[in-house]
Amino acid sequence: MSSIAAPPAPAGKRRFLAPDRGRSWDEARVTAIAPESTSGTTLRLAHPEVPELQAGQYYLLRLATPSPPGVVEQAYSVSSSPHPPSAEIEITVREVTGGRISPLLAHHVRVGDLLHVRGPFGFLTWSEEDGGPLLLLGAGSGVAPLMSIVRYAAARGATTPMTVLCSSRDRSTVLFRQPLEKLDRAEPWLSVVHTFTRDSDDSYPRYHRRIDAVMIAEVTAASFGSARADVTYLVAGPPDMVAAVRRALSELGVPDARMASEDHA
């Protein structure tokens, strides 16, 4: 995170907490807020203690909403590296227009606010023992857990070959464009490939369509060599994207055991 976008808000810092009679939620303090590319907001949250976290996992956040008054729980992936272990994690929120809590997280939560969190959860994870090569396919907020995996690999000094295939509508909606570019330049084991679905004039991405079987086969061959049967595919994004990518992988003969996915519904 490069800049803190919000001023501290000492008064009313509990305003997003709803009563928690069973004490089943942790209180995490927001310690920094920064824009992420042009389409997301990254919040740094300090836990009461260092969590046992794997790269790719997510937390549930629970917020009291002012209008309509209520309590809403949603999942947010950790986008930071779990290494070195830290009480602080980062989540990256894409605002859903008309949504109940993503606009609050993106625009109204301030540094100093307390938020209810519970976790970590999730099985779309990677660590050195899992090996590779890895093709990470993401769209929308699905790029967040993949970012955590790439950052973790870099922080650990891993050399497992990895390619991120990132699908976005256009340049303005690419999450983590600059951090991914920086890691792509710095790390010989990493490649980043973009596809834009709505802007056919921009020469930045390699592809200009939704992810399909031909694209996956080409990217796999270019990244790891065409005869590799040992590639693992991790997929995250909106449910229709995840279903389409899983179908494409099946068409290519990839067994279920070599793919894992997470719907960001």
Ligand X SMILES: Cc1cc2nc3c(=O)[nH]c(=O)nc-3n(C[C@H](O)[C@H](O)[C@H](O)COP(=O)(O)OP(=O)(O)OC[C@H]3O[C@@H](n4cnc5c(N)ncnc54)[C@H](O)[C@@H]3O)c2cc1C
Stretch that binds ligand X, among 1-9, 73-81, 148-156, 178-186 (CB under 6 A): 73-81
Query: Is 96 near ligand X (CB under 6 A)?
Result: yes
Cα distance between residue 173 and residue 134, in whole Å: 24
Closest CA to 186 of 215, 144, 157, 223: 157
Q: Which helix (H) or strand (E) holds 242?
A: helix 239-251
| Least gap, CB of 198 to ligand X (angstroms) | 15
Residue 84, amino acid: P
Cα distance between residue 184 and residue 162, in whole Å: 10
Residue 50, amino acid: V
Q: Which of 37, 39, 80, 102 binds ligand X (CB under 6 A)?
A: 102
- 110 or 264: CB nearest ligand X: 264
Q: Which of 39, 77, 80, 173 binds ligand X (CB under 6 A)?
A: 77
Query: Is 69 near ligand X (CB under 6 A)?
Result: no
**Cβ contact 254:233 at 8 Å:** yes
Query: Is 112 near ligand X (CB under 6 A)?
Result: no
Alpha-helical segments (H) within 73-200: 102-103, 143-156, 177-186
Residues in a beta bridge with 72: 63
Query: Is 72 near ligand X (CB under 6 A)?
Result: yes
- 194 or 264: CB nearest ligand X: 264
Binding string, 2-41, against ligand X, x = CB under 6 A? ----------------------------------------
Stretch that binds ligand X, among 87-95, 156-164, 196-204, 209-217 (CB under 6 A): 87-95
State which of positions 135-154 bind ligand X (CB under 6 A): 140-141, 144
**Cβ contact 25:118 at 8 Å:** yes
State which of positions 170-229 bind ligand X (CB under 6 A): none
Stretch that binds ligand X, among 22-30, 92-100, 176-184, 212-220 (CB under 6 A): 92-100
| Least gap, CB of 180 to ligand X (angstroms) | 15
Q: Which of 92, 148, 223, 232 binds ligand X (CB under 6 A)?
A: 92
**Cβ contact 136:162 at 8 Å:** yes
Closest CA to 114 of 30, 208, 220, 31: 30
Main-chain dihedrals φ then ψ at residue 81, nearest 5 degrees: -85, 140
**Cβ contact 182:194 at 8 Å:** no
Query: Is 99 near ligand X (CB under 6 A)?
Result: yes
Cα distance between residue 147 and residue 77, in whole Å: 10
Q: Which of 30, 39, 58, 163 binds ligand X (CB under 6 A)?
A: 58
Please report, as ranges, the residues that interact with ligand X according to CB under 6 A. Answer: 58, 72, 74-77, 91-94, 96, 98-102, 140-141, 144, 262, 264-265
